[in-house]
Every structure is written in C-alpha cells, then in structure tokens.
Structure 1
C-alpha cells in the first residue's frame, strides 16, 4: 500500500521542525510528536471530507493553485515556526473546519492532554504546512509528476486518504470520527473525546 500523505508529511516534519514546534508550544519533544501525529490526520481528514463534495473539491483546488502552488515546504515551515503564518493558519482552519473549528481544537487538546489553546496554536501552525505540502504533492513542483491535476482527482486522492486514516484508527482516526461525525451537526461530544484521551493514557485502543 502506498505511503499515506499524512505519514509522508509526518516523516518530513521529523527532527528540527518538530523540535521547534515543541519549543514554541512549551511541550516535550515526545509530546509534540504525539500531538502532531494526532493533528495531521484531523486536518487531512477534514480536507478529505470537504473535497468529497464537488464544490468543496473545486474550492480547495482553486486555493491550492492560487495561494499555495510553488511554495517550498521549507520556507513555509520557516515562516510558520518564526511566528508568521498564524493569521493565514487561522483563515485556513476556518475554511477547513467551519463551525467545527472549536470542537477540533478542544478535541485535540483533550485527547492529547495539552489543552485547547495549545491545540489551536498547533493547528494554526500546521494548516499552512499541510496546504503547501498538498499543493506540491498534488499539483507537482514543476517536475510534471502532479498527482491530481484536477478538482475531481484531488477529491479522489483526499477521499482515499480519509478512508485510510479512519481504517488505521488510533488517536488521529478516533479524533477524526469524533470531531467530524457527531450527528453531522458539528457538535463534538467532549465527554466522548475525553474518554478517547483516557483510553490513550491508560493504554487502551
């Protein structure tokens, strides 16, 4: 099975980027790695859910082309970790999660134990990174190896990614379901998310 987008991006963030994120958030490196590995599936899965609708795929494809194509992941990382990009991250989160934005941050904060404020800061850091990564991966970096050169193809690739994340389960997959699926009304049940967090800390699934 091909390496998932989420795993690939997580791999690219190992080392210095994760170290800098942990310092900015005031977390131990291990805690930061755990938090990022839960946050990335949440962002990718939410994008996959949005792109499952033709209008959503069209809007995301347009945003990647207009605002994120040709950006080097390293320079985006540098900007975000240098304290820039927070406003952009906030805008992206608004589009990605809509009414579920607060639930996503609360859920991530509860499940990882880092609290909603730090979880929100982490999501704002990661949002521009995820978009730059997707633009490079989907539209190609000029090398002609674009994986999804149309909105439909983008929707398919992200749809498969979301499915894969859910099947993997774990913290990221569980969070994705808890935040996005709650009766379809955007209200995450925080008590469920706390149970999810509890099961992580007690070694449960």
Structure 2
C-alpha cells in the first residue's frame, strides 16, 4: 500500500466525501485539498523525526497509539465527530511554525476560509497518523524514514521511489532547497517528496507555492 490509497483509495474517498459535504463544496475541490495536504503532512512528519532521537521516539509512540486498530474502523468516528482540540494539536506538531503558511496557502488557492481549511487539516491529521500507524505495525522494522519511503513510493517500479525520495525529503523539507522533478501522473511518485519539500522552501513566493500545491494535487488527478 502507498499514498495513493490514502488519497484516492477507500480511505481518501470517504474523507473527500465528508469534507465536501461539511464545506458544501464539490468533491473535485475537496479532492484537490486532500491531495495537496496529505503529502505535506507525511513529509513534515519525516523531517521532524530526523531532528533528534527524542523526536523520532515521540512520533513512533504517536503512530503506535493511532495504529492500534484498523484505520477504516476508526474512519467513521473521526469523520462523524469532526475535528477535536487534540486533532488541531497534531496539525501543529506536524507543521510547527509552518502551520499558518500551510493553512493560508490552501485557503488562498481554494477560496475557502482559513478556519475551514484548519478544520480540514485537523480532520486529515488523525487519518494520516492512523494510516501510518497501521503501516508501521505491518512493516518488518526500520525507522520512520523507511516507513515514509514505503508509503510515498511503495509498490512503484521507478527507481527514484525508494532512497531517492527519502534523500530528497531529508535535503529539502521545511526550509531547504527543492528538487526539480514534477510528476504528472498518479503512477509517477518519484518527485513527490521533492514537491512537498519545495513548498516549504522559504525562498519561494506565494505564486510558486500555489503552483507546487497544484502539482501535488495533479499527481492524483484534479
């Protein structure tokens, strides 16, 4: 399983449908938001895990807590109750000082209010954590980086879908330089982490960040 399951598979489609109904928007726009936001969340988690052993251990524990039962079993409750304060805290832990940047950028691109986008991110956060937690339980070991690599590129024959993706994340996410790969189809995940990392590059202006969000969403179809 890989990130496509989380965005366009059974999990993603249920989240998209609920978000569309909650915000009273069409599902294509809800799908755009999900497809742009989820890769940013996963890349940010990976970056945070590399800051220190303590950070990695904290993320590991959080994934274990969220992965105790099937994410599909949890999905109804998560989507039914709406985001909680704890879910907002997950978003803030993921993005840190970049939380406002992510929220504002998604709001600007979609024309949806920042408070509504914040609610969408808080809805997606426990789903992402639950999905990664489940994948961690099913994996044969390895660190956060190995887990993220399998989710971002698992099952892909493209050689850049393994170590290349991880190397890109480590070099570019949250303030570094971005890569030049611009994947254009759902089957080409090789540049996904490059795009996610380049979004956080402080040298990029709002237009560039908006273009990156379009590219992220475009991987999974608009």
Normalising by structure 1, report the TM-score. Answer: 0.73
Mean alpha-carbon deviation: is it higher for 44-53 or for 89-98?
44-53
Residue matched to 2:26: 28
Equivalents in 2 of 1:126, 1:74: separation in Å? 13
Residue matched to 2:3: 6
Residue matched to 2:209: 193
Match of 2:131 among 133, 136, 141: 133
Residue matched to 1:203: none
Matches within 5 A, 1:38-49: 38-49=36-47
> Structure 1: 5+ residue runs without aligned partners?
141-145, 201-205
Q: How many residues align?
A: 183
Higher relative contact order (CA 8 A, sep 6+): 1
Matches within 5 A, 1:171-182: 176-182=196-202
Matches within 5 A, 1:61-80: 61-65=60-64, 67-80=65-78
Conserved 8 A contact 1:18-1:33 = yes
The structure-2 alpha-carbon separation of the partners of 1:175 and 1:155, relative to structure 1 and needing over 3 Å to count, comes to: closer
Equivalents in 2 of 1:177, 1:64: separation in Å? 22
Conserved 8 A contact 1:88-1:128 = no
Residue matched to 2:172: none
Conserved 8 A contact 1:111-1:193 = no
1:96-126 superposed Cα distances (whole Å, 9 cap, x missing partner): 1111111111122223443423221111110
Residue matched to 2:147: 157
The structure-2 alpha-carbon separation of the partners of 1:19 and 1:99, relative to structure 1 and needing over 3 Å to count, comes to: same
Conserved 8 A contact 1:43-1:96 = yes
Question: Matched residue of 2:109: which SS?
Answer: helix
Conserved 8 A contact 2:83-2:119 = no
The structure-2 alpha-carbon separation of the partners of 1:96 and 1:14, relative to structure 1 and needing over 3 Å to count, comes to: closer
Conserved 8 A contact 1:19-1:29 = yes
> Structure 2: 5+ residue runs without aligned partners?
154-164, 170-178, 185-191, 217-222
How big is the alpha-carbon RMSD for the aligned residues of Structure 1 and Structure 2?
3.1
1:25-60 superposed Cα distances (whole Å, 9 cap, x missing partner): 221011111111111111111112212334332221
Normalising by structure 2, report the TM-score. Answer: 0.68
Conserved 8 A contact 1:111-1:196 = no
